[in-house]
Amino acid sequence: MSRTPTVLDGPALWPAQAHLPSVLGRQIVIDRAAGSYLHTVDGRRLFDGTAGLWYANIGHGHPALAEAAREQMLRLETYHVFSRFVNDQAIALGERLAGLSPIADPKVILNSGGSDAIDVACKLARRHWQREGRPGKTVVISREHAYHGLHAFGTSIAGIEVNREGYGTESLVPETVRVPVHDVDALAKTIAELGADTIAAFVTEPVQGTGGVNPPAPGYLEAVQELCRDNDILFVLDEVITGFGRTGTMFAAERYGLQPDLVTFAKGVTSGYAPLGGVLVAPRIWEPFYADGADTPAFRYGATYSGHATACAVAQANLDVLERDGLVARAAELEQLLDTRLAQLAANRPSVAEVRVGGFLGGVTVVDEIRAEDVTDALLDLGFVSRPLRGNNLQISPPFITTDDELVAFVDAIDHVLAEQE
C-alpha cells in the first residue's frame, strides 16, 4: 500500500513527550557536551540552564565517570541481582546510599530510573499493607500538578492531566487520588472522606519540579508527614529531582527535617551518566520481608537492569566528585544568588508574574500575554537552554558547577528576552 509522505516523516526515532507537528524539523541535535555547555551538530554552543532534565548536576563530560564506566565494563559489565545472584558494585552502592540516606537503617532497591522507582515504591506501599493484614489500604494520594514519571503508577498518580489522558477512565492503575498542592486541610479532608483504612500512601515531591517549580509552603511538608503518621499512611518522598544535592543538602528530607517511609531517587545519583534510580526503604517496611522463616513473604520487584554494575560504578564516581568538589554546598550558594537575581528580575520586568526558588531550582511565571515557549525559543537563539514548564513557567536548574557569572548571564538573558517581548 502506498502512502503520501508528509512533513511528519522525520527520523525513525519517535521523540518523547512531543507534539510531533510542533517539533519535527526543529529538533536540536546535541552531539557533544562539556561542563555546563552543550554543542549541537550544526556548531552551536548552548549553556545548559536546565541540567538536561534536572540531572547533569556535576556537569557534562567528566572524565572520572567515563573512566569508571570503562573499567567496570572491562571487569564486569553487569550481572543481575535476581534471587541468589548479585554483583559487587550493586552491594557497594547500596551500602554507600544507606550511609547518605535520610531514612535511618534503610534497605536500598536499585533500578533504572525515576519512573521505575515510583512504580516500585507504590507497589511496595500496597504490598506493605496487604502483608500487615490490611489489604483495603490501596489508594495512593498525590498532588495536583505532580510529575512522578510515566510508567503505570507514575501515569496514574500524575497531577499533570495531559499525562493521564487516554489510558482509560481511571488511567492505568485504579484507586489514585489527587489533592491541591500546598493545602494540608485538603489532604486531611480527603483522608476523612475516603477513610484512612483505604489509603496506602501519600506521594509528594518536596519541591514540585515539572509542575512549575513549587517549593513547599513553610511547614507544609512537616504537617503532611504528621497527618500521614496519625492516619497510618506511608509518607513517600519523591526525590528524583531533589536527591543528591539540588536543595543544598544531600536529600531534601534533610533540609525540611523529614523522616519519610520511602524515598525515590534517580537523576542526580549518576548525574545522568548512566540510567539508575531506586528506593530507600524504612525498617518498618523491610523488616518483615527479611525475617527468617519459611513463611516470610517476598516482594516481587525487579528488572533485568536492577543494580546494573556499570551504572552503580558510575554512581560511585559521581558521588566521589560531588563530595570531593563540595558541590552540595555549592548548590546552596547558587540558590542564594539565584534567589537574589530572580527577585531583581521580578522587580524589573512587568511580564514576570511570579518567581519561586527552592534549592538551586527556580521557576519564573510569565504573564499570559507572553508564552513561555516563545521565551525559551528566544533564549536558545542567545545560547541558553531553559524549558517551558506547566503554568507558563520557565525552568532554571543549571549544573552545580555553574559559575556566578554564568548564572548572572543566564538570568540577564531572560531579562533581555522578556524586555523584547513585552
Q: Kindly list the residues in this chain that would bind ligand PLP in the complex (CB under 6 A).
A: 53, 113-115, 118, 147-149, 205, 209-210, 238, 240-241, 266, 277
SS3 (DSSP) at 145 = coil
> Shortest distance, CB of residue 351 to ligand PLP, whole angstroms?
27
Q: Which is nearer to ligand PLP, 94 or 154 (CB)?
A: 154
- Residues 226, 419: Cα–Cα separation, whole Å: 45
- Residues 121, 281: Cα–Cα separation, whole Å: 9
> Shortest distance, CB of residue 242 to ligand PLP, whole angstroms?
8
> Shortest distance, CB of residue 357 to ligand PLP, whole angstroms?
17
- Residues 336, 133: Cα–Cα separation, whole Å: 48
> Shortest distance, CB of residue 147 to ligand PLP, whole angstroms?
5
DSSP letters spanning 219-251: THHHHHHHHHHHTT-EEEEE-TTTTTTTTSSSS
Burial (Cβ within 10 Å: 0-12, 13-18, ≥19) of residue 10: middle
- Residues 48, 54: Cα–Cα separation, whole Å: 10
Burial (Cβ within 10 Å: 0-12, 13-18, ≥19) of residue 366: buried
Q: Residue 189 in contact with residue 152, Cβ under 8 Å? A: no
Q: Residue 81 in contact with residue 87, Cβ under 8 Å? A: yes
> Shortest distance, CB of residue 118 to ligand PLP, whole angstroms?
6
| Chain position whose Cβ is nearest to ligand PLP | 114
Q: Which is nearer to ligand PLP, 147 or 256 (CB)?
A: 147
Q: Which is nearer to ligand PLP, 53 or 93 (CB)?
A: 53
> Shortest distance, CB of residue 154 to ligand PLP, whole angstroms?
6
Q: Which is nearer to ligand PLP, 277 or 417 (CB)?
A: 277
Q: Which is nearer to ligand PLP, 210 or 351 (CB)?
A: 210
Q: Which is nearer to ligand PLP, 117 or 417 (CB)?
A: 117
Number of H helices, E strands in the chain: 14, 15
Q: Which residues contact 275 (CB under 8 A, 6 or more apart)?
A: 112, 113, 305, 308, 311
Q: Which is nearer to ligand PLP, 146 or 417 (CB)?
A: 146
> Shortest distance, CB of residue 314 to ligand PLP, whole angstroms?
15
- What phi, psi does 78 have (nearest 5°)? -170, 165
